[in-house]
């Protein structure tokens, strides 16, 4: 694909998403002027038009798009009625506990806290990660398994910081960014996060569409699979109406489907156990596998997932004013997140080793992508009781479906938090899904018949998400170190240093991917000039975020000291 077409495609993504968003926000601005006020008498509502108030009859049968004034003034991840009750579970004497005292460990309570970590782990298993796994296995063999392990550990560390922020403050990252940064910086962070989200969403929906095409023996084209996948948000909305635990159960089923499918493939192909163990234990990297190594690490840290986890942990009823309860929640969330990511590591390991066994060292290793992986597996291993092509498709479909639902979920929190639109959740889900479906349909129509160009597009989407990494990590690290926000739960100097080193490592790795892509793909004076201008603006904004983080941390500390002294 030539440079002009690539640039046109990127322009179509952004312009189509913006057009739909402006259409919805224009509609919402009209609706907001007639929001009912239930603090008045039950039979009246207050309507503001042209700065004059009039009283008119209320319609009790109409469900407003915007929340009523009975709701809290601020955006919240979950309504109080939606939260899972945890206080008193397996605690007969919980009324006698001191507010600073951490309740004893309970397996039953761990089960009650289990859920958010598994939703978070879906981002480690989405179709983009599966493509990184299969390419790492086909090109690098077993040699990058150690990196997959440590990338998962790094991801676990970052997600724990996100969970800590959400539990301690009772607010999620998008809300706090809106309050922490000036209006222009907050809006720019929102745009960057939305771009990362749409890139991830395209990969996820296309992954599901590829799986549906395989399972229907080519009957369903990609665009039809995209439309079918787009409606999964309604399943999500339906289940959420019946409680958060029902939604979490759905994700548990989808993760189980992935685990069974890829474990079946692992058993069918019988990878070399000795080489597998060596690959996990012995670090090995050479110049030929650097790109795959970067892909493995880059696919683990997803910007929207950092925002998502800080909201998910608020689905449990926790009083952030009681340090004992906060510490208890952090302990349980750490355990359940560790279990969830351990399972995700094993699933990723299955995929990597299957393709290492099948294609490492072969002539076709460099040509394998998400679109043709199933066919290559079928040609290599043939049928059996269930053809491996369909086993692969079932696992891919579960990955795509689960990740599109979490993408919709993340989109609700990101939009609601950054913009404070105060929308009903069904309206936010509708906007999120609508903004993503148009560019995804365009992609499906353009790339339906070409696996090679689909892989090129996937490289562009990986780069799009890679450059957004700093806009999730830097605000997160800034906020978890703030004394006035986190109190006794702020990260200390040692953990802060480790956190920044991890963040800089991840940013550097993703920066290498962007640099390599620039060298390989960017050509022509016009396009090069545009890219250079973008890079200058991008670096300036990243430097601003880092500078603000340092100054807030330093001078905020001095301000706090001066207040104490005075």
Widest pairwise Cα distance in the chain: 78
Full-model pTM: 0.81
Give the pLDDT confidence of 174-188 residue by residue, as tens digits: 999 999 999 999 999
- Selection from 175, 69, 65 nearest residue 424 by Cα: 65
Q: pLDDT for 115-141, tens place per residue?
A: 999 999 999 999 989 988 999 999 999
Q: Looking at the predicted structure, is the pLDDT value of residue 6 above 60?
A: no
Would you say 481 and 491 are in contact if contact means Cβ atoms under 8 Å apart? yes
Look at residue 104 in the predicted model and tell me its pLDDT: 84
From the list 177, 276, 103, 83, the residue with the least C-alpha distance to 480 is: 177
**pLDDT for the residue numbered 145:** 95
Q: Which of 10-14, 314-318, 508-512 has the lowest mean pLDDT?
A: 10-14
% of the chain beyond a pLDDT of 90: 34
Cα(286)–Cα(368) distance, rounded to whole angstroms?
20
What would the pLDDT profile of 497-507 be if each residue is shown by its tens digit?
Answer: 988 998 888 88
So what's the pLDDT on residue 71? 43
The pLDDT of residue 242 is above 70: yes
Cβ atoms of 370 and 130 closer than 8 Å: yes
Q: Is the pLDDT assigned to residue 353 strictly greater than 80? A: yes
Nearest to 127 by CA among 212, 190, 193: 212
Mean pLDDT of the chain, nearest integer: 79
Residues sharing a CB contact under 8 Å with residue 229, sequence separation 6 or more, in sequence order: 205, 208, 209, 212, 400, 401, 404
Return the structure tokens found at 410.
């993340």
Question: Percent of the chain at pLDDT above 70?
Answer: 77
Q: What is the mean pLDDT of residues 393-412?
A: 90
Q: Which residues pair with 74 in a beta bridge?
A: none
Distance CA 294, CA 300 (A): 10
- pLDDT value of residue 306: 94
* In the predicted structure, residue 322 carries a pLDDT above the cut 60: yes
Q: How far is CA 496 from CA 161, 500, 501, 553, 559, in A?
A: 10, 6, 9, 11, 20
Least confident of 100-114, 428-442, 524-538: 428-442
Check residue 425 and give its pLDDT.
66
Could you write out the DSSP letters of every residue in 431-479? HHHHHHHHHHHHHHHHHTT-HHHHHHHHHHHHHHHHTTTHHHHHHHHHH
Higher-confidence residue: 163 or 57? 163
Rounded Cα–Cα distance for residues 2 and 16 (Å): 21
pLDDT at 163 over 90: yes
pLDDT top residue among 455 and 274: 274
Task: Check residue 47 and report its DSSP letter.
Answer: E
**What local confidence, expressed as pLDDT, does residue 20 receive?**
43
Residue 104 CA to residue 439 CA, distance in Å, equals: 50
Q: Residue 286 pLDDT more than 50?
A: yes
Q: Where are the alpha helices (DSSP H) in 33-126?
A: 107-113, 116-121
**Looking at the predicted structure, is the pLDDT value of residue 262 above 80?**
yes
User: What pLDDT does 153 receive?
Assistant: 94
The answer to whether the beta carbons of residues 499 and 477 sit under 8 Å apart is yes
Contacts of 566 (CB under 8 A, 6+ apart): none
* Predicted local distance difference test score (pLDDT) of residue 291: 78
pLDDT at 226: 84
Would you say residue 22 has pLDDT above 60?
no
Place of tokens 């993703």: 510
Q: How many residues does the chain have?
A: 566
Radius of gyration of the chain (CA): 24
**pLDDT above 90: residue 65:** no
Average pLDDT over residues 221-227: 84
pLDDT band at 440 (very low <50, low <70, confident <90, very high): confident
Dist CA 101 CA 260 (whole Å):
41
Q: Which of 129, 151, 157, 147 lies closest to 281, judged by CA?
A: 147
| pLDDT tens profile 186-222 | 999 999 998 888 888 888 888 888 999 999 988 888 8
* 415 — pLDDT class (breaks 50, 70, 90): confident
Name the most confidently modeled range: 312-316, 458-462, 530-534: 312-316
Which of residues 122 and 524 earns the better pLDDT score? 122
pLDDT of residue 110: 93
Q: Rounded to an integer, what distance in angstroms lies between the CA atom of residue 143 and that of residue 138? A: 11
pLDDT score at 227: 83
Average pLDDT over residues 509-516: 75
pLDDT of residue 529: 86
Q: Which of 84-93, 135-144, 458-467, 520-529 has the highest mean pLDDT?
A: 135-144
H helical segments located in 487-524: 493-521
Those residues whose C-beta lies under 8 Å from the C-beta of residue 301, and which sit 6 or more positions away, are 154, 155, 158, 469, 473, 506, 510
User: Could you read off the pLDDT of 364-392 as tens digits, one per residue?
Assistant: 888 888 888 888 999 888 766 788 999 99
C-alpha span between 357 and 365 (Å, rounded): 11
Q: What pLDDT, on a 0 to 100 scale, did the predictor assign at position 155?
A: 93
Distance, CA of 3 to CA of 522 (rounded, Å): 7
pLDDT digits (tens, 9 = 90+) for 459-482: 777 777 878 888 999 999 999 999
């Amino acid at each position: 694909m030539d440079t002009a077409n690539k640039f046109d495609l990127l322009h179509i993504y952004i312009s189509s998403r913006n057009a739909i968003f402006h259409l919805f926000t224009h509609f919402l601005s009209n609706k907001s002027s007639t929001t009912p006020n239930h603090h008045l008498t039950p039979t009246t509502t207050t309507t503001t038009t042209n700065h004059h108030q009039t009283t008119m009859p209320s319609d009790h049968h109409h469900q407003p798009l915007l929340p009523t004034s009975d709701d809290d003034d601020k955006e919240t991840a979950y309504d109080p009625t939606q939260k899972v009750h945890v206080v008193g579970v397996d605690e007969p004497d919980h009324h006698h506990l001191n507010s600073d005292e951490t309740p004893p460990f309970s397996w039953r309570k761990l089960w009650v806290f289990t859920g958010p970590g598994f939703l978070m782990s879906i981002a480690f298993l989405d179709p983009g990660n599966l493509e990184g796994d299969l390419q790492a296995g086909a090109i690098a063999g077993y040699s990058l398994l150690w990196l997959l392990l440590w990338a998962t550990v790094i991801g676990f560390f970052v997600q724990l910081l996100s969970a800590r922020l959400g539990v301690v403050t009772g607010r999620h990252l998008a809300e706090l960014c809106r309050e922490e940064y000036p209006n222009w910086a907050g809006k720019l962070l929102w745009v960057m996060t939305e771009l990362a989200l749409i890139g991830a969403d395209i990969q996820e929906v296309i992954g599901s569409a590829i799986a549906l095409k395989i399972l229907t023996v080519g009957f369903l084209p990609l665009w039809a699979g995209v439309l079918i996948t787009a409606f999964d948000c309604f399943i999500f909305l339906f289940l959420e109406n019946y409680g958060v635990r029902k939604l979490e159960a759905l994700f548990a089923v989808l993760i189980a489907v992935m685990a069974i499918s890829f474990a079946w493939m692992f058993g069918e192909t019988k990878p070399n156990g000795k080489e597998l163990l060596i690959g996990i234990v012995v670090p090995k990297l050479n110049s030929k596998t650097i790109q795959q190594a970067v892909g493995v690490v880059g696919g683990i840290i997803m910007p929207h997932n950092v925002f998502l986890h800080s909201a998910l942990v608020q689905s449990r009823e926790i009083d952030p004013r009681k340090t004992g309860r906060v510490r208890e929640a952090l302990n349980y969330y750490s355990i359940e997140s560790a279990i969830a990511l351990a399972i995700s590591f094993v699933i990723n390991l299955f995929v990597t080793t299957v393709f290492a066994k099948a294609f490492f060292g072969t002539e076709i290793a460099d040509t394998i992508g998400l679109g043709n992986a199933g066919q290559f597996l079928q040609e290599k291993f043939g049928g059996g009781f269930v053809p491996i092509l369909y086993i692969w498709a079932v696992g891919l479909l579960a990955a795509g479906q689960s990740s599109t639902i979490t993408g919709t979920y993340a989109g609700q929190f990101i939009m609601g938090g950054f913009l404070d639109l105060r929308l009903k959740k069904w309206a936010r889900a509708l906007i999120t899904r609508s903004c993503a479906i148009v560019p995804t349909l365009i992609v499906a129509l353009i790339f339906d018949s070409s696996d090679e160009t689909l892989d090129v597009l996937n490289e562009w989407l990986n780069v799009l998400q890679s450059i957004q990494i700093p806009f999730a990590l830097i605000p997160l690290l800034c906020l978890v170190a703030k004394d006035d926000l986190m109190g006794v739960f702020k990260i200390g100097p040692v953990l802060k240093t480790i956190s920044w080193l991890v963040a800089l490592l991840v940013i550097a790795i993703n920066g290498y991917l962007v640099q390599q892509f620039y060298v390989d793909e960017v050509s022509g004076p016009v396009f090069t000039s545009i890219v250079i201008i973008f890079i200058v603006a991008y670096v300036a904004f990243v430097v601003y975020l880092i500078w603000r983080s340092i100054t807030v941390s330093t001078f905020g500390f001095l301000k706090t000291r001066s207040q104490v002294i005075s």
